[in-house]
Structure 1
Amino acid sequence: MPFITAADGAQIFYKKWGSGRPVIFSHGWPLSADAWDVEMKLLADHGYCAIAHDRRGHGRSEQTWTGNDMDTYAADLAGLVDALDLTDISLVGHSTGGGEVVRYAARHGQGRVSKIVTVGAVPPIMVRSERNPEGTPIEAFDDIRANVLADRSAFWQDLALPFYGFNREGAAVSKGLIDEFWRLGMQAGLSAVYDCVAQFSETDFTEDLQNLQVPILIAHGDDDQIVPIHDSAAKAIDLVKHGTLRIYPGASHGIHGAYQAALGRDIVEFLGE
């Protein structure tokens, strides 16, 4: 399997499909690069080189004790780009991965990144504070950490329901998606998923968004129960210089079904402009 070595020696797994202009996908918590397989195939079929990595501590990457922070995630992505000598890159990030690609682009991607897509992404900041009174209370993230420590296997199964909107009345529940969410979550290391909660909830991406100089498509479902749209995409669009906000009515945080099909079409169109 292909790996790159991060600056601190950590082994970071990646996969690369197709050939052409590079598109790098960054996954959400607590998943892995496999969460992007449908979109990777779609982009490879459209003549792009689709690349996705497992964030450190997740999937097949090394389960490091240190470095489970947003700055290191962005630096790991920079190491991947450097190792593969990529230019004219498009970045696609979901949830925590949306924060990762925004930070990478703002701090490392000058001259390399041409476009960005975020999907259900955490920027600008999730946690409630005096500066962000509409945010999610810290107690919600404390509960996540407690559940991860207590019984993360059961927690991944429970979390999959609001993640994909399967707790909504009349939802067509897919046991396969629940099982896949559980499988990918169980591949991640305990310390990595625990540490990452603070990173996706408390990291402030305001300056990163303001510093972006390239076009960005901000995609978000308006029934996202994990990263509510009013405190993320609705604010992020006002902070970027060259942004397009695309709202998907009734869509959940997890990418599946009709939402996945529509998002795929919109990504292909945006990257081709």
Structure 2
Amino acid sequence: MPYITTSDGVEIYYTEQGSGQPILLSHGWPLNSDAWALELKIFADAGYRAIAHDRRGHGRSSKTYTGNDMDHYAADLNDLVEALDLRDVVLVGHSTGGGEVVRYAARYGKDRVAKLITAGAIPPLMLKTDANPEGAPIEVFDAIRNGVLSDRSQYYRDLAHPFFGANREGSLVSAGQIDDFWRQGMQMNVAAAFDCIAAFSETDLTDDLKAIDVPVFLAHGDDDQIVPVDAASKKAITLLKNGTLKVYPGRPHGIYGEYQRELDRDILDFIAK
């Protein structure tokens, strides 16, 4: 299996398919690069070099006890881009991965990044503060921490339902989709899972969004129960120099089914513009 080693000695697993302009995909919590399995094929079939990695602590990457924060995630992504010498790269980030690619683009990507795409992404800030009253209170994230520490196996099964909107009437989410969410979550070590909660909820990415010059496409479901659109992408779009926001009616946080098919078409259209 292909790995790169980061500047602080962490092994990052990645997978790739196809050739052409690179598309680098960053997954959400508690998932890994398997979440992008379909996109790897679709984007490769469309003539691109599609690459996805497992964030540190996730999937097949090193089970890290330290460095599970947005600064390290972005630095790891930079190490991967440098190791593969990716240029004119399109970044795609879902949920926490959206924060990762935004911080990477702002800090490291000036001469590397062509475009940036996020879906259900966390920027600018998930936590409710005096300056961010639309955010969620700390108790919401403390409950996630408790779920990870008390019975993470059951917690991931339970979380998958609002994640994919399986708790909504008429949902077509399969049992297999729920099982795969659980499988990916259980591949992450507890320390990384716990620390990443602070990373995705308490990292303020306001200045990062302001610093990005390349075209950005923000995709977000208006029935996202994990990262509500009003506190995330609808605020992020006001901070970008060159941003486009598309809100998908009735779509959840998790990417699957017809939402996945529509989003993938939109991503390819945005890249081709």
Match of 1:265, SS state, is helix
Name 2:15's counterpart in structure 1.
Answer: 15
Q: What root-mean-square deviation, in Å, do the aligned CA atoms of Structure 1 and Structure 2 show?
A: 0.5
Query: Residue in 2 aligned with 1:68?
Result: 68
Matched residue of 1:163: which SS? helix
Q: Which residue of 1 aligns with 2:135?
A: 135
How far residue 173 of structure 1 moved from its aligned partner, in angstroms, is 3.4
1:53-72 residue CA offsets vs partner (Å, 9 max, x unmatched) = 00000000001111101000
Classify the secondary structure of the residue corresponding to 1:261. Answer: helix
Other-structure match for 1:213: 213
SS of 1:239's equivalent in the other structure is: coil
Measure, in 2, the Cα distance between the counterparts of 1:155 and 1:16. Answer: 31
Which runs of 4 or more aligned residues in structure 1 lie more than 2 Å from their structure 2 counterparts after TM superposition? none
Instruction: Quote the residue 1:271 is aligned against.
Output: 271
CA distances 1:63-122 after superposition (whole Å, capped 9, x unpaired):
111110100000000000000011000000000000000000000001100000000000
TM-score (norm 1): 0.99
Q: Secondary structure at the match of 1:92?
A: strand
Give the distance between the partners of 1:134 and 1:56, measured in 2 at CA: 30
Whole-angstrom distance in 1 between the partners of 2:264 and 2:88? 20
CA distance in 1, matches of 2:244, 2:263: 14
Identical amino acids, percent of aligned pairs: 62
Q: Could you report, residue by residue, the CA deviation over 1:28-69 in whole angstroms, capped at 9, with x for unpaired residues?
A: 000000101111111100000000100000000001111101
2:257 aligns with 257
- Name the counterpart of 2:174: 174
Give the number of equivalent residue pairs: 273
CA distance, structure 1, for counterparts of residue 213 and residue 206 of structure 2: 14
Distance across 2 between alignment mates of 1:206 and 1:173 = 34
Matching of residue 112 in structure 1 with residue 88 in structure 2: no
Q: Which TM-score applies when normalising by structure 2?
A: 0.99
Equivalent position amino acid for 2:154 in 1: A
Matched, 1:49 2:49: yes
Q: Which amino acid aligns with 2:29?
A: W
The alpha carbon displacement at 1:172 in A equals 2.1
Query: How far apart are residue 241 of structure 1 and its match?
Result: 0.5
The one-character-per-residue Cα deviations of 1:224-264 (angstroms, maximum 9, x if unpaired) are 00000000000000000000001110000000111001001
How many angstroms does 1:170 deviate by? 2.2
Query: Which residue number in structure 1 is paired with residue 200 of structure 2?
Result: 200
Measure the CA separation in 2 of the matches of 1:4 and 1:17.
Answer: 17
